[in-house]
A and B are shown apart, each in its own frame.
Chain A
Amino acid sequence: MPKYSFAEAANAALRRVLDEIPETLLYGEDVGVPGGVHGVSKGLHKTFGDRVFDTPISESAILGSAVGAAMFGRRPIVEIMWSDFFLVALDQVVNQAANVRYVSNGTMTAPLTIRTQQGNSPGAVAQHSQNLEAFFLHTPGLRVCMPSTQQDAYDLLLAAVHCDDPTIVIENRTLYHGAKAEVEINEGVQPIGGLRRRRTGDKATVVSWGAITHKVLEAAKDEDVDVLETVWLNPFPWDEVLDSVRRTRRLAVVHEANRTGGFGAEVITRVAEAGIELTAPPVRLAAPDLRLPAAPVLAAAVIPDTATIAAAIADLATRG
């Protein structure tokens, strides 16, 4: 099996879809000749020529043209360099892409993939640190996934490009150039949806997604808990999550995005709606509702750290 970093795994998936699906196009700012500011599209312009190209710094045109091209038979994969930059062009995602299939009564479709990355890294400013998945999950019609391992960087991107819906793949820049790991290059393409059971246990269910999952796994390593990484957020694996909570009767949700209106609230609400009686109040670990300060010491006081998560899980597992 080849060994890839997270960025290389995403690159391998892009190379494969460009190779296997002639309708794919890959574009965005610095994506073509330079190979992406994070190096994810390195070498692809060389191999695939003008199907991989650079664009002006025009997010509305990048996203909108992808919707339009997808309506006309292409399978565009576009990059929004930082998820924060989506916000200058959200109309094309929320009002346009998400409506194409539904409002046309299924006569038009927009099978595009949008790759982006988010999260905080030391010294990143407030406009380069946000976790915006809840914005997209609040928009019916969009598919959303968030890989955190090298294998999923490959598998989810591949599945996203094969998906016939507008699909957003949210990566995290702190993962791109970390360790290499063996990545299984599956023959087939995995269906969208499902989760990753990263740890099995009886005392609590811990649900998490994105890069913070690595902190959660470290925090839970001595605990008898289920850790479910919900790599697909839409479609969300409700049945599996509810089954786990029914068994453990304790629930924690951990995400890096802000607390209020975060998707963690949705997970807890669904468990409540399902009538599952918990033996302890559910726990929600998230960033407090703040802007992200640039100074690393200040940012560290905002984003949940491993020790905080560990303490919360240990406490939850023994309560009730």
Chain B
Amino acid sequence: MSTLLDDLHQMWRSRLLEEKIRDLRLAGEIQGSVHLSIGQEAGPVGACSVLGPDDALFATYRGHNWAVARGVPVEGILAELLGRETGVNGGRGGSAYFSDVAHGFHGENSIVGAGAPLAVGAALAGKYDGSNRVALTVFGDGAMNQGAVHESMNFAAALDLPVIFVCENNGWSELTPIDDMVRNPILAERARAYGMLGERIDGNDPAVVRDRVGDAIEAAREGGGPALLELMTQRLVGHYIGDAEQYRRPGELEAAKEKEPIAVAKRKLAAAGVPQNQIDDAEARAREEIDAAAATAQAAPLADPSTVKEHLYA
């Protein structure tokens, strides 16, 4: 149960970071589109726990949780979103497109599906640099319909490259449900067409994700080629902050709240007899960290416009 308690703490760090981001966005301190993945915390926590330091992670605009799970400091994330000099990209990246290579986080991407070919390249480079690197790219169910994703899966499969394609299936692509946009709703089955492993798994259980992604990584590292894992999950919030969510189906959110990973983990821990104060402490510690990080980020100077031309060329 100690692993689940750790996972719960990690999930709270993501959850509370995103709640803080939401508050700052609503207060106008953060500007522009912000995509939260509240409800989707288990996937990043499980998957990142089996990535090594040299492995490469490519995420999407809904990437805060993946960054946190990969070890990117929350203060650097908050500062980035607030447009501060101390942000992980000094304010150039923003909520939907930041990166932190120092922590093995090779970027979000605000072009749907665009991380997949980049991950193929990271794996390809690993073939030549002796690092034995595995690349993991995560994208939504809607992204499965991008040409770039299909090309990447086939390319990685044909070349036996160690790429783990993680599809976070939250059922929605912006305002449109995935089951209206595909004929076969089991997206993992597409893997078979490329000759690679494809599995649909419970994306709300960090242990299941750790286990299945871990196996796929191990196989890939040993030359077994790529895999596609479809993590079934849900976003409890809108596509972006401000989304009126009129598209939601009756009862959908209520059902989602029952299944969401933090609620499930808390129930499991309580059922296993873990004392309530330990369960509560996982949240309390995370809250303390996030509050302190936010205060520091807010106190940092805004990005300096006189530096705006730096870093375009070598």
Contacts and interface: CB of A to CB of B under 8 A. Distances in A.
A291 B97 CA distance: 13
Nearest to B143: A57
Interface in A279-320: 288-291, 293-298, 300-302
Contact of B111 (A33, A85, A291, A302): A85
Contacts of A174: none
A34 B247 contact: yes
B308 A301 contact: yes
Interface stretch (B15-23, B26-34, B69-77, B121-129): B26-34
Given A29-B174, A34-B176, A88 B32 contact: no
Interface in B125-154: 142-143, 145-148
A56 B182 contact: yes
Contact of A295 (B94, B111, B173, B175): B94
Given A85-B111, A88-B114, A127 B97 contact: yes
Nearest to A128: B110
B95 A123 contact: yes
A57 B182 CA distance: 11
Find the residue from B31, B84, B87, B309 having the highest chain A CB count within 10 A: B31
B147 A294 contact: no
A57 B142 contact: yes
B312 A291 contact: yes
A88 B149 CA distance: 11
Contact of A57 (B91, B92, B146, B303): B146
B112 interface: yes
Contacts of A300: 305
Given A58-B145, A290-B308, A125 B95 contact: yes
Interface residues of A, number: 39
Interface string B181-224: 11000000000000000000000000000000000000000000
Contact of A297 (B112, B148, B302): B302
Nearest to A126: B97
B148 A88 contact: yes
Interface string A47-84: 00000001111111100000000000000000000001
B171 interface: no
Nearest to A31: B176
A96 interface: no
A58 B173 contact: no
Contacts, number: 129
Contacts of A288: 309
Nearest to A87: B111
A30 interface: yes
Contacts of A57: 112-113, 142-143, 145-146, 173, 181
Interface string B58-102: 000100000000000000000000011001000111111100000
Given A29-B176, A122-B31, A127 B308 contact: no
B303 A293 contact: yes
Given A57-B143, A124-B32, A301-B305, A294 B97 contact: yes
B258 interface: no
B312 A295 contact: no
B176 A295 contact: no
A298 B303 contact: yes
A30 B176 contact: yes
A300 B305 CA distance: 8
Contacts of A122: 31-32
B252 interface: no
B240 to A, nearest CB: 9
Nearest to A55: B181
Contacts of A301: 305-306, 308
Contacts of B180: 54
B170 interface: no
B37 interface: no
A290 B312 contact: yes
Contact of B302 (A58, A61, A295): A295
Most B CB within 10 A of own CB, among A34, A88, A125, A126 = A125
Contact of B32 (A58, A125, A289, A302): A125
Interface of A: 29-30, 33-34, 37, 54-61, 84-85, 87-89, 121-128, 288-291, 293-298, 300-302
8 contacts: A122-B31, A123-B31, A125-B93, A126-B97, A294-B91, A295-B84, A296-B32, A301-B306
Nearest 4 pairs of A and B residues by beta carbon = A123-B32, A294-B94, A295-B83, A295-B91
Interface of B: 30-33, 61, 83-84, 87, 91-97, 109-114, 142-143, 145-148, 173-176, 180-182, 246-247, 302-303, 305-306, 308-309, 312
Given A30-B173, A37-B174, A293-B92, 9 more contacts: A29-B176, A34-B246, A57-B181, A123-B31, A293-B308, A294-B83, A294-B95, A297-B83, A298-B305
